[in-house]
């Protein structure tokens, strides 16, 4: 885990909830958009990773939608609600695009608003540890896990998702 702060103090991060208890954030540099998708618009694909919710037809392209908490072997979002639209973070790396389903989208925060946490998380699944850059504490002492978008794409490749 990298606990060094980047030199650019103007970085922006999108905060979101992985689980009701765990907040995370991603740098906005790989985020293309945030969309809401009704569950019945996601077409399930059988025989793929359990974290893959399915595909969504978006602007003439197929967007793979992944339950990010389930990918990290945390409580699956899939089982919680079939009636409320999903919040999807659309990310792009080179020519690959994925949609990350998260429980709740939070605010945009600046790196200048963060500081090292007083207490670190002790035990996390290896999938989450693999994608974790560092841990930070916000102004209200909430803990944020800073995830690396590139590592999320890499983890999906390691788990053999072809998108």
| Residue 44 forms part of a structural domain | yes
Q: Cβ distance 87 to 101 under 8 Å?
A: yes
Class of residue 5 by CB neighbours under 10 A (exposed 0-12, middle 13-18, buried 19+): middle
For β-strands 12-17 and 23-27, DSSP reports them as antiparallel
Question: 141 in a domain, yes or no?
Answer: yes
pLDDT tens sequence for the chain (163 residues): 444 444 455 678 999 998 888 899 999 999 999 999 998 899 999 888 889 999 999 888 899 999 999 999 888 765 555 678 899 999 999 989 999 999 999 999 887 766 666 556 667 888 988 898 888 877 776 788 889 999 999 999 988 766 5
Give the pLDDT confidence score for residue 2 in this predicted structure: 43
Alpha-carbon separation of residue 131 from 10, 43, 80, 146, 147 (angstroms): 22, 27, 24, 9, 5
Question: Per the structure, how many domains does the chain have?
Answer: 1
Quote the pLDDT of residue 8.
52
**Predicted pLDDT at 11:** 78
* Residue 2 lies inside a defined structural domain of this protein: no
Residue 100 resides in a domain: yes
Residue 3 CB contacts under 8 Å (≥ 6 apart), including other chains: 116, 134, 135
In a domain, 7, yes or no: no
* Residue range(s) defining the domain that contains residue 117: 12-158
The domain that contains 106 carries what CATH number? Answer: 2.40.50.180
């Amino acid at each position: 885990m990298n606990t060094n702060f980047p030199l650019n103090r103007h970085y922006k991060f999108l905060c979101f909830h992985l689980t009701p208890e765990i907040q995370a954030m991603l740098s906005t540099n790989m985020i293309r958009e945030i969309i809401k998708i009704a569950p019945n618009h996601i077409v399930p694909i059988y025989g793929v990773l359990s974290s893959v919710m399915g595909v969504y037809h978006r602007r003439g392209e197929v967007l793979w939608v992944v339950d990010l908490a389930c990918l990290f072997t945390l409580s699956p979002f899939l089982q919680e609600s079939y009636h409320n639209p999903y919040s999807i973070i659309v990310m792009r790396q080179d020519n690959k695009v994925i949609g990350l389903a998260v429980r709740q989208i939070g605010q945009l925060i600046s790196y200048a608003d963060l500081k090292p946490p007083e207490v670190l998380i002790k035990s996390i699944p290896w999938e989450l540890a693999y994608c974790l850059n560092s841990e930070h504490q916000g102004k209200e002492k909430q803990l944020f896990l800073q995830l690396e978008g590139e590592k999320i794409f890499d983890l999906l490749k390691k788990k053999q998702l072809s998108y």
